[in-house]
Amino acid sequence: MSTSVDTFRDLAQQDYKWGFVTDIEHEQVPKGLNEDIVRTISAKKNEPAFMLEWRLKAFRHWMSLEKAQAEPKWANIKYAPIDYQDIVYYSAPKQKKQLNSLDELDPEILRTYEKLGIPLAEQKMLAGVAVDAVFDSVSVATTFKEKLAELGVIFCSFSEALQKYPELVQKYLGTVVPYTDNFFASLNSAVFSDGSFVYVPKGVRCPMELSTYFRINAAETGQFERTLIVADEGAYVSYLEGCTAPIRDENQLHAAVVELIALDNAQIKYSTVQNWYPGDKQGRGGIYNFVTKRGNCKGVNSKISWTQVETGSAITWKYPSCILQGDNSIGEFYSVALANNYQQADTGTKMIHLGKNTSSTIVSKGISAGHGQNTYRGQVKIQKNATGARNYTQCDSLLIGDKCGAHTFPYIEVKNSTARMEHEASTSKIGEDQLFYLQQRGLKAEDAVSMIVNGFCKQVFRELPMEFAVEAQKLLSVSLEGSVG
């Protein structure tokens, strides 16, 4: 447990501390995107034929979108045009042979994990977390698989799943986020390099939190992760995702896709703490994070819950959504998004009610500081057959300073008159009186701000698994340092 204490001590340093570049050999394909690159990626990974076909269809679709200049422009974010031909679409740490244990792992990679405070080894066992660590684009180590295997739980890299369980992947891939879904999802479908795959069989409650740490490392490498989680009938799984990335001057594109499928009576809880490099104080650099995350509550009484703490990235474009297809299914979205310095976040959710007596809850907490611009964009759609649907939306914004902005775009579309909709929204500013009150009790201004902000976010933090909640609080405090004079 001392590991986490040390991690938090390190977190208390003002500047983005994870700005180191690990020096390991990379195997890269040339810059740019064409059919050959797609074929190369698929071939390098020795993928089954259906996968290559799907990638190629996605690629052709993406090309048509690119030609039609269909990159989405509706979000409340500004960035220089991305040159998609100036990106390396695949990079893998060179490995000579298959590894039998962590001891055989490149010591450089192990040291990187240590700097990140990600103990791959036994410590995680104590914490009850299995880690499938993604280093750049290829999974290099997976732990606790055996224990999970006893229960029939599959938790592995996407590449491995394609080798071992191609029929499962083929059955579910693209069923929630088709390759035609949007510009960035199409791109991802064509070139995704790796990611995680989870399958929890009927009636199994996954006994540990599943966790993946993503890390972007190779210079000029866009990262395109693909995650697919299937909870079969009556299954339960909680999945954690946490990210950091090193300092770099050029902007880095990240376009991930996450698909969740919950069958009858199944539950999926997906938690994210996102702390990619946000750019410097003048707004130079930082990650462009264009993510498509969607879950389908396919079965009756199923439940999907998204919890996210978004403190990093220069640009965040992300709307984890739920399709409430099964009757009585439940969708939840709990979000904290922070935009400090020149960060821009346009994030929210979509709740699409199809089944009867479906219900959804949205709690969004946006924090803007410095010159940050924070946008909540949400859509709640009650379709014609969704009798007895309910939605509760709470959307709060907190402003720190007078140069930042908070924006809210809630879209509500109701096609069934039995629907019950509630929407609450508030915008507040951290007041001098609130700060003074805490300072008068002995707290430093920065600690006072952090306390007020953490209080503001409490509704969301309590949805996070314990160790993540603590980390998220610290992260928020660190991300806000220097925002109060």
Six token digits for residue 54: 């799907």
Q: How far is the CB of 422 from other proteins (least distance, A)?
A: 19
Interface mask (CB under 8 A) for other proteins, residues 324-343, using x and -?
--------------------
Q: Is the Cβ of residue 83 or residue 447 nearer to other proteins in the bound state?
A: 447
Q: How far is the CB of 126 from other proteins (least distance, A)?
A: 22
DSSP β-bridge partners for residue 412? 380
Q: Of the candidates 351, 19, 41, 1, which has an alpha carbon nearest to the alpha carbon of residue 187?
A: 41
Would you call 239 exposed, middle or buried from its count of C-beta atoms within 10 A (0-12, 13-18, 19+)?
buried
Q: How far is the CB of 132 from other proteins (least distance, A)?
A: 33
Q: Of the candidates 473, 480, 474, 333, which has an alpha carbon nearest to the alpha carbon of residue 404?
A: 480
Q: How far is the CB of 439 from other proteins (least distance, A)?
A: 4
Q: Is the Cβ of residue 417 or residue 440 nearer to other proteins in the bound state?
A: 440
C-alpha 154/C-alpha 201 separation (Å) is 8
Q: Which of residues 450-469 bind other proteins (CB under 8 A)?
A: 451-452, 454-459
Q: Is the Cβ of residue 210 or residue 464 nearer to other proteins in the bound state?
A: 464
Q: Is the Cβ of residue 63 or residue 451 nearer to other proteins in the bound state?
A: 451
**Binding status of residue 402 toward other proteins by CB under 8 A:** no
Q: Is the Cβ of residue 133 or residue 448 nearer to other proteins in the bound state?
A: 448
Q: Is the Cβ of residue 404 or residue 457 nearer to other proteins in the bound state?
A: 457
Q: Is the Cβ of residue 21 or residue 466 nearer to other proteins in the bound state?
A: 466
Using CB under 8 A, count the residues that bind other proteins.
Answer: 23
**Binding status of residue 399 toward other proteins by CB under 8 A:** no
* Complete DSSP assignment for 3-41: HHHHHHHHHTSSS----------EEEPPBS--HHHHHHH
**Binding status of residue 123 toward other proteins by CB under 8 A:** no
> Looking at 276-319, which runs of residues are DSSP E strands?
287-297, 303-310, 315-318
Q: How far is the CB of 474 from other proteins (least distance, A)?
A: 14
349's CB contacts (< 8 A; 6+ apart) are 306, 319, 320, 321, 322, 333, 335, 362, 364, 378, 379
Q: Which of residues 407-446 bind other proteins (CB under 8 A)?
A: 431-434, 436-445
C-alpha 356/C-alpha 71 separation (Å) is 35
Which positions lie near other proteins, rule CB under 8 A?
431-434, 436-445, 447, 451-452, 454-459
